[in-house]
């Protein structure tokens, strides 16, 4: 790993504040010389690829893994039937763990793209190819397609995650200019150069 000292441009009276700073890894990233997590070689690594649901809501009736399991390099295929020996953790409300089993690959599908199976293989390519061979049978149920769907309901307000300070209504009423808008983001969006590792 290359450790570089921060470089500073301009001047400031109190150290960092007020001066223009360069990210120490900036030059490495923009020239393609930076090393990312995936590029560090490791020995005896198994690779997992998740199989995602192709329906927005329903139940997993069956998962046929026979073709995937027979593929070269496949070490293990996990489905909702597999008990991994995990237990539930505490919830967002601060309640202690219930001791109930936790199934990361559930039988109930709650959204399109939910992970319902996993293929573990000797290489990422082997896992990816085997994952394509898994056949899932669903029992579809009505889904909520958007926030504007009449079936969406009001959602679930997490009171314990709400923080209030000041008087927003008063501040808005006294503002010379106010802008009101609705912002929506897709399920996945790209911001960082290395979002997965």
Cβ proximity of 128 and 63 under 8 Å:
no
Where does the chain show beta strands of DSSP type E?
7-9, 20-22, 47-52, 58-64, 74-78, 108-109, 115-121, 135-140
Sign of CA dihedral 118, 122, 128, 129: negative
Task: Tell me if residue 117 falls in helix, strand or coil.
Answer: strand
Alpha-carbon gap, residue 30 to 42, rounded angstroms: 25
- Return the pLDDT at 191: 60
CA terminus-to-terminus distance, the chain: 16
- Return the pLDDT at 154: 80
Query: In the chain, which residues fall in CATH 3.90.1170.50?
Result: 47-140
- Return the pLDDT at 73: 98
Alpha-carbon gap, residue 193 to 29, rounded angstroms: 9
Burial 104-137 (b: 16+ CB within 10 A, else e): ebeeebeeeebebbbbbbeeeebbebbbebbebe
- Return the pLDDT at 133: 98
- Return the pLDDT at 99: 83
pTM for this entry? 0.67
Residues belonging to the chain: 197
Q: What is the pLDDT along the chain (197 residues), one digit of tens a residue?
A: 455 565 555 555 555 566 666 777 888 888 989 888 778 888 899 999 999 999 999 999 999 999 999 999 999 999 999 988 888 888 878 888 888 888 899 999 999 999 999 999 999 999 999 999 999 999 999 998 887 888 888 877 778 778 888 898 899 899 999 998 988 777 665 666 555 54
Beta bridge partner(s), residue 34: none
Alpha-carbon gap, residue 25 to 2, rounded angstroms: 9
- In this structure, whether the domain defined by 47-140 belongs to CATH 1.10.10.10 is answered with no
- Return the pLDDT at 12: 54
Nearest to 8 by CA among 26, 17, 20: 20
Alpha-carbon gap, residue 128 to 73, rounded angstroms: 11
């Amino acid at each position: 790993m290359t450790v570089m000292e921060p470089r500073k441009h301009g001047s400031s009276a109190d150290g960092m504040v007020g001066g223009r700073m360069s990210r120490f890894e900036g030059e490495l990233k923009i020239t393609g010389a930076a090393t990312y997590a995936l590029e560090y070689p490791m020995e005896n690594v198994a690779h997992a690829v998740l199989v995602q649901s192709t329906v927005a809501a329903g139940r997993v009736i069956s998962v046929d893994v026979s073709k995937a399991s027979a593929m070269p390099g496949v070490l293990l295929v996990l489905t909702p039937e597999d008990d991994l020996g995990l237990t539930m953790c505490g919830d967002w409300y601060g309640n202690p763990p219930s001791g109930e089993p936790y199934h990361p690959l559930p039988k109930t599908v709650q959204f399109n793209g939910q992970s319902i199976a996993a293929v573990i293989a000797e290489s990422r390519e082997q896992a990816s190819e085997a994952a394509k061979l898994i056949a899932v049978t669903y029992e579809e149920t009505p889904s909520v397609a958007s926030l504007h769907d009449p079936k969406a309901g009001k959602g679930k307000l997490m009171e314990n995650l709400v923080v209030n300070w000041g008087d927003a209504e008063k501040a808005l009423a006294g503002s010379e200019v106010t802008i009101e808008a609705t912002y929506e983001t897709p399920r996945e969006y790209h911001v960082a150069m290395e979002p997965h590792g």
